[in-house]
Amino acid sequence: MEDEIDLRDIFRVLSKRRLMIMGVFVFSILMAGVISFALPPVYKVSSIIAIGYFEDPAYTSQSSMKNVMLSDEFLLEVFEATSPNGSSGDFRDFKESVEVEPVKDSDRLIEISIETEKRKEGLKQVEIMIERYSDLSENSYNKQKKILEDQMANTEQRLEVIDMEINQTREALKEIEESTGSSAVQAEMRFSRTLDILNGKESQRSALLDRRMELQKQLLLIRNLEVIQPPREPISPVWPRKALIVAIAGMLGLMAGVLAAFLQEGLGGRPAER
């Protein structure tokens, strides 16, 4: 006859071994609490910055910024500035603690974060990362802005010249209309040629005005890196999550206690049939 276990048998075993189950449960919670309080706290220092908006993909794209900030050369400068006596192992740990990730649903925002046991040092490291990258970005930004400003100045000068030439051409047309010393055919030919010149210069002026408007728009929109959320010294650690550790340990302890109860009951022999 096959072995059969009904709910009454299960509840009988749980009731009989309840002290052992509760003991394993309480022991698991106590051990988890001791371990979680013994673990060193880990803090997260983070900052959100907006990448620049100008004609240099090296400093105006999220992927490029991430590549620069996570490069060994860049991180080594930051590490040496904050830990001049640090070892290669310390640098490796520092590098693994750094994260540079795009902010979700944004093509301009980047979050820089460091997880560390030393929150003051982590704050300084994030600040230096922003400062160093901002310096690199600002150099490129200033060059691009200078190019636009020079182009704007050149366009303004050309507009002044073309305006002067247009006025001179109009005066020439007026003189031709008022001239009486040449034949009508010659006067008409001169007038036609001068009018063509005037139309060409007005077309040049229209193109220069469009160019000036485009440059004004670019100068209005161009901007360097901006710190949207500056880094701050964290108050609460992100690890260990004591409540989570204790809750998981309690659940596992309860499961282990129930399993041990049934194993012990099984090793002790089947209960007598009623």
Structural domain boundaries in the chain? 1-39+240-259, 40-239
CA distance 132 to 156: 36
CA distance 259 to 253: 10
Question: What is the topology classification, in CATH, of domain 40-239?
Answer: Alpha-Beta Plaits (3.30.70)
Q: Quick: pLDDT tens for 64-92.
A: 999 999 999 999 999 999 998 889 999 99
265: Cβ contacts below 8 Å, ≥ 6 apart: 13, 16, 17, 271
Q: Quick: pLDDT tens for 88-145.
A: 999 999 999 999 999 999 989 999 999 999 999 999 999 999 999 999 999 999 999 9
Is beta strand 43-50 parallel, antiparallel or unpaired with respect to 98-102?
unpaired
Strand partners, 116: 43
* Phi, psi of 246, deg, nearest 5: -65, -40
Q: Are 46 and 247 in contact (CB under 8 A)?
A: no
Structure tokens, 224? 């360097």
Q: Quick: pLDDT tens for 153-194.
A: 999 999 999 999 999 999 988 887 777 666 777 778 888 898
